[in-house]
């Protein structure tokens, strides 16, 4: 299992408590469109991701991340 696969698995696990609609999560899943998260949910989720990976995701980065795959790439980059 690659580092990216490990990150994807961990990200999916972090999404689960916030996935109120039971959406099947893939790398193409969007946070706003598919999961229908509001800004408060996004803030809570970002905090969970930052704690899980011991990273800081800036507001600028958050604005550019729309899909699960993009988040996995961002986490991998920040951990490198």
Kindly report, residue by residue over 28-54, the tens digit of the pLDDT. 999 999 999 999 999 999 999 999 999
Contact, 49 vs 68, CB < 8 A?
no
Q: Which two tokens stand for residue 70?
A: 């993009």
Identify the pLDDT of residue 2: 78
Cβ(78)–Cβ(11) under 8 Å?
no
Cα distance between residue 39 and residue 36, in whole Å? 10
pTM of the complete model? 0.92
Phi–psi pair at 77, nearest 5 degrees: -65, -45
CATH number of 3-79: 1.10.1200.10
């Amino acid at each position: 299992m690659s580092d990216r696969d490990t990150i994807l698995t961990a990200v999916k696990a972090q999404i689960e408590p916030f996935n109120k609609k039971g959406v099947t999560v893939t790398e193409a899943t969007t946070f706003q469109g598919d999961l229908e998260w509001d800004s408060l949910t996004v803030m809570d989720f970002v905090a969970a991701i930052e704690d899980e990976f011991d990273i800081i995701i800036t507001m600028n980065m958050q604005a550019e991340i729309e899909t699960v795959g993009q988040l996995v790439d961002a986490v991998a980059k920040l951990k490198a």
